[in-house]
């Protein structure tokens, strides 16, 4: 029998290795695209049969992966979507891209990671590489995945191989696809590291090998803590500068002319996306389990979570100045995706704004060219609404238009011209010249 490491390395080298990706969402599907571009055969696994059926029909549900691309890959058999997990025996590389949310008490919820690993172990065979890409706390690969996988009787580093490589997707950023972002890789042992390195270096622009899975896991957490803390800082400064009558956006534009020592971060109505609002709390949990505190992380989370309340206070004040209470006012949320020009609503602050404004009695509607109907969210009571067309009549009929996501598709001159009041949380109307008296930055 061939040595498992040699056999897998040879399959990767000659391009015959089959890459399987579990979780066909905003991380998994771009990975499929990257590996097929590198001429690997791929299989995509997802428990959501509706997703699998859509992909088999050649239809994409992610904006930056076109339906034409999906159709091409499926028809050429280079990508085989399936919900049949028993077919994991057919692949040589198994990459896990499942959600890692927080529990109600803001502790790590590894339900999906554990369940996926317990499924993998049923079909694990010698000569396979398993890689976790889901963001998690340092130690997960070694303390959670490794014992489950070795319960098969196979030994890591000898029979199968195990590594961690954090996802670094930036949806909506055309400059960086999955192939164009350097990949951090940490193997559980030297053989796992070498094999993981050999498969990823075929599919991405460059590789960043590190000494262990723990370093790779910590790297991803640090990246997101860095953003969370700096966004919280600028959000706090926005509140202060508003009180002082200073435009935070003008301050940032002036500050970023300094060619060193400053990186621009921008305020907003709250944090969104799967990473930044969630991942820092994984590190806080680890710190508590070791008797330590992470004051910067906790404070940043407190500031960022408060921003939807600050925005609603701004809406209330602006409506009051026009003699209108929030209760009964018709308010349109402009944009419900968590960032501009994407179709991803995960953890979007728009849903917290919906909750707060509904509780205050507002009559709500929304528009988002990327999200035609509001999806259900685990932690929010989402109204059953469809995206409204931004006609002159619709805008004029609103008491307030609240810009929560600054999509490029919006004609802000048209919106300000026809809406009676615009609350701008993103400085989206900075270039609008007419009707500026109707714009309130918040």
Catalytic positions are 275
Are 237 and 300 in contact by the 8 Å Cβ rule? The answer is no
Cross-sheet strand order for the sheet of 93-96: 79-82, 41-45, 18-22, 93-96, 129-132, 161-164, 183-187, 207-209
């Amino acid at each position: 029998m061939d040595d498992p490491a040699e056999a897998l390395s040879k399959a990767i080298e000659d391009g015959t290795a089959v890459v399987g990706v579990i979780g066909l969402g905003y991380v998994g599907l771009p990975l499929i695209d990257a590996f097929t571009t590198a001429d690997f055969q791929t299989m995509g696994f997802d428990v959501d049969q509706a997703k699998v059926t859509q992909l088999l029909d050649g239809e994409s549900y992610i904006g930056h992966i076109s339906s034409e691309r999906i159709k091409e890959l499926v028809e050429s058999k280079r990508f085989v979507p399936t919900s049949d997990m028993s077919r994991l025996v057919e692949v040589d590389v198994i990459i896990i891209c499942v959600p890692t949310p927080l529990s109600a008490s803001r502790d790590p919820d590894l339900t999906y990671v554990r369940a996926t690993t317990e499924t993998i172990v049923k079909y694990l065979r010698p000569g396979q590489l398993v890689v976790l890409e889901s963001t998690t706390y340092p130690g997960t690969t070694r303390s959670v995945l490794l014992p489950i996988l070795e319960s098969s009787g196979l030994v890591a580093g000898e029979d199968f191989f195990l590594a961690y490589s954090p996802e670094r997707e930036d949806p909506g950023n055309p400059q960086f696809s999955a192939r164009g972002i350097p990949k951090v890789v940490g193997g559980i042992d030297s053989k796992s590291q070498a094999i993981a390195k050999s498969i990823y270096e075929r599919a991405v622009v460059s590789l960043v090998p590190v000494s262990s899975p723990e370093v790779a896991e910590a790297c991803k957490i640090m990246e997101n803590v860095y953003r969370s803390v700096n966004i919280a800082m600028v959000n706090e400064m926005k509140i202060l500068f508003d009180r002082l009558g200073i435009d935070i956006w003008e301050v940032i534009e002036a500050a970023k002319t300094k060619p060193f020592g400053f990186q621009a971060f921008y305020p907003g109505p709250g944090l969104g996306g799967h990473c930044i609002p969630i991942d820092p709390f994984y590190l806080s949990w680890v710190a508590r389990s070791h008797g330590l505190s992470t004051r910067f992380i906790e404070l940043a989370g407190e500031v960022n979570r408060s921003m939807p309340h600050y925005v609603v206070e701004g809406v209330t004040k602006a409506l009051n100045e026009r003699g209108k209470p929030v209760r009964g006012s018709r308010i349109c949320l402009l944009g419900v995706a968590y960032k501009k020009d994407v179709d991803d609503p995960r953890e979007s602050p728009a849903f917290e704004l919906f909750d707060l404004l509904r509780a205050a009695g507002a009559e709500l509607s929304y528009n988002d060219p990327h999200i035609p109907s509001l999806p259900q969210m685990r932690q929010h009571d989402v109204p059953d609404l469809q995206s409204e067309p931004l006609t002159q009549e619709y805008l004029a009929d609103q008491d307030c238009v609240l810009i929560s996501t600054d999509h490029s598709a919006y004609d802000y001159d048209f919106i300000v011209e026809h809406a009676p009041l615009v609350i701008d949380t993103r400085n989206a109307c900075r270039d609008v010249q007419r009707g500026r008296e109707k714009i309130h930055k918040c």
